[in-house]
């Protein structure tokens, strides 16, 4: 229950019809894409400006109300889950493209602008916003920044962090900050903008962002290869990255392909069945396509791959991409337990052998589905929930194995969350990727931005 004077003050600040308390709104705004926690916020506020966000934060401090910042809620680690009577502050109404500057190749947008809208805007102006993933149609820029979203083009274009030129934020204590002013070069001490990127709503609320845009890639080709075993994927990657500027190098297992083709009705890429598939994308101009085909022959001869197909049209390319991009949505129906781990690409050949053996031993009766951005050293290991097991029992069993996977990741100096963030789901494993000293410093930073601890309590670390 929120205090009555707090509700009255919020309604006065943003308008009574902008404070939602109907149970379907609470359910909708209280969860992300995780299926573990039950939503139970007390109310949802929809501010219409940075100033209204600021007023909400000041009131939350005054009345000691916990705030959960909310974007498109497509996250996979529970970072936007509100389960304890919090006030959700959703950025849906901050959805304007505020300013476009073709000379600086930058665009300033409200935090609630949907990723796809930004991508389309860039395209209409002959430019390109390269951060892309399956949930681009509903994820919001503010949420992408708060989680430093990655996606399918990181190998060439990097993560969200690499495209943020400036931020307007409201800190947990209600200060409005303009960070980096959209500048390309600005060496004036600590760059607080970068602290907010990936902060998972624990330092402040992102209200606006200035985003850099790129030259669009030209004439992309998609190549899907059937790969003979796990280590062969890395050998194929090495050959292709040495010869081409790839815009993507993704992989998925036969189990993922079976599920996705059954669920979507998409055709398999070719008749041969392989344990794994690699999806490569590159600009095919000049002699790039010939190089790719020559490498394919080499890979066939070396028995790294057993079959392959290259796109002949935009629609074929899009369909090949769907085989990879639709996996996450397809698996969602089995309430998967998700691991999102990374190591250096150079360590991947040894790492995958060990992690594969560990998983085979510890999940003998669960279906394990692999896919991910292997060109970035990032594996998504999804365990599907058997129908006869409760979500609680399933999560607990997978959590135990995750501790072992995390210990292995630590031994390889990798990350327990390559791109999905920590939220609630990965919090127990953070110690495997960050030292105690680092977590203590993070705690101190959090305290200086949010001294009363009102923002996203319980997320990232306690
Ligand atoms: C993906 O790579 O498809 C996304 O990170 C989502 C997921 O892992 O399920
Ligand atoms: Zn991913």
Per domain, the residue ranges of the chain are 4-93, 97-212, 220-328, 335-441
Q: How far is the CA of 418 from the centre of ligand 1 (A)?
A: 11
Of 432, 428, 433, nearest to 459 by C-alpha is 428
CATH-assigned architecture of domain 220-328: 2-Layer Sandwich (3.30)
- For ligand 1, residues with CB inside 6 Å are 76, 133-134, 327-328, 372, 380
Q: How far is the CA of 370 from the centre of ligand 1 (A)?
A: 11
From the candidate CATH numbers 3.40.50.2300, 3.40.640.10, 3.90.1570.10, 3.30.70.2740, the one assigned to the domain spanning 335-441:
3.30.70.2740
Q: How deeply is 424 buried, as exposed, middle or buried, from its count of CB atoms within 10 A (0-12, 13-18, 19+)?
A: buried
From the candidate CATH numbers 3.40.50.2300, 3.30.465.10, 3.40.50.720, 3.40.50.12500, the one assigned to the domain spanning 97-212:
3.30.465.10
Is the pLDDT at 198 greater than 90? The verdict is yes
Nearest CA residue ID for atom 3, ligand 1: 328
What one-character-per-residue DSSP string does 244-313 give? S-EEEEEEEEHHHHHHHHHHH-PPPSSS---SEEEEEEEE-TTTHHHHHHHHHHHHHHTTSEEEEEE-SS
Q: Which two three-digit tokens encode residue 161? A: 């962090």
pLDDT tens-digit series, residues 120-144: 999 999 999 999 999 999 999 999 9
Is-same-fold flag (4-93; 220-328)? no
What would the mean pLDDT of 417-421 be, rounded to a whole number?
Answer: 98
CATH-assigned architecture of domain 4-93: 2-Layer Sandwich (3.30)
Query: Best mutation site among 380, 417, 419, 420 for ligand 1, i.e. most ligand atoms within 8 A of its Cβ?
Result: 380
Q: Which atom of ligand 1 is nearest to the CA of 331?
A: 9
End-to-end CA distance of the chain: give it in Å, rounded: 23
pLDDT tens-digit series, residues 232-244: 999 999 999 999 9
Q: How far is the CA of 380 from the centre of ligand 1 (A)?
A: 7
Q: How far is the CA of 265 from the centre of ligand 2 (A)?
A: 22
Query: Best mutation site among 256, 322, 327 for ligand 1, i.e. most ligand atoms within 8 A of its Cβ?
Result: 327
Phi, psi of 410 (to 5 degrees): -60, -40
Is the pLDDT at 1 greater than 90? The verdict is no
- pTM more than 0.85: yes
Percent with pLDDT over 70 in the chain: 100
pLDDT tens-digit series, residues 295-323: 999 999 999 999 999 999 999 999 999 99
Q: Which atom of ligand 1 is nearest to the CA of 332?
A: 9
Which sign, positive or negative, has the C-alpha torsion 305, 236, 225, 259?
positive
């Amino acid at each position: 229950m929120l205090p009555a004077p707090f509700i009255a003050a919020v309604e006065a600040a943003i308008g009574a019809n902008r404070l939602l308390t109907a149970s379907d709104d609470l359910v909708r705004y209280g969860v992300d894409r995780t299926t573990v926690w039950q939503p139970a916020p007390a109310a949802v506020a929809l501010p219409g400006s940075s100033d209204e966000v600021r007023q909400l934060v000041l009131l939350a401090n005054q009345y000691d109300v916990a705030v959960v910042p909310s974007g498109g809620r497509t996250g996979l680690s529970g970072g936007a889950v509100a389960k304890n009577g919090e006030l959700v502050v959703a950025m849906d109404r901050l959805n304007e493209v505020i300013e476009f500057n073709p000379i600086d190749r930058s665009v300033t947008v409200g935090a609630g602008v949907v990723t796809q809208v930004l991508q389309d805007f860039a395209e209409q102006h002959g430019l390109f916003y390269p951060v892309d993933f399956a949930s681009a149609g509903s994820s919001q820029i503010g949420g992408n920044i708060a989680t430093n979203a990655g996606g399918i083009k990181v190998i060439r274009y990097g993560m969200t962090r690499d495209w943020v030129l400036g931020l307007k934020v409201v800190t947990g204590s209600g200060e409005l900050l303009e960070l980096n002013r959209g500048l390309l070069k600005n060496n004036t001490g600590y760059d607080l903008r970068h602290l907010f990127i990936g902060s998972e709503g624990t330092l402040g609320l992102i209200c606006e962002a200035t985003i850099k845009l790129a030259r669009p890639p030209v004439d992309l080709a998609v190549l899907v290869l059937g790969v003979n075993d796990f280590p062969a994927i890395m050998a194929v990657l090495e050959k292709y990255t040495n010869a081409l500027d790839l815009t993507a190098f993704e992989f998925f297992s036969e189990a993922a392909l079976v599920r996705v083709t059954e669920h979507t009705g998409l055709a398999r890429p070719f008749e041969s069945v392989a344990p794994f598939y690699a999806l490569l994308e590159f600009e095919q101009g000049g002699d790039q396509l010939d190089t790719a085909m020559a490498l394919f022959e080499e890979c066939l001869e070396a028995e790294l791959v057993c079959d392959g197909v290259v796109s002949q049209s935009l629609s074929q390319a899009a369909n090949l991409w769907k085989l990879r991009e639709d996996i996450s949505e397809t698996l969602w129906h089995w309430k998967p337990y998700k691991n999102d781990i990374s190591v250096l690409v150079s360590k991947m050949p040894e790492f995958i052998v060990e992690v594969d053996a560990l998983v085979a031993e510890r999940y003998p009766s669960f279906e394990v589905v692999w896919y991910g951005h292997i060109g970035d050293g990032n594996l998504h290991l999804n365990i599907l929930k058997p129908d006869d097991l409760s979500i609680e029992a399933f999560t607990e069993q997978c959590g135990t194995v995750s501790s072992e996977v995390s210990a292995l990741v630590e031994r390889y100096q990798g990350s327990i969350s390559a791109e999905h963030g920590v939220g609630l789901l990965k919090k127990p494993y953070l110690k495997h990727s960050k030292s105690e000293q680092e977590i203590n410093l993070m705690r101190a930073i959090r305290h200086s931005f949010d001294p009363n601890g009102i923002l996203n309590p319980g997320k990232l670390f306690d």
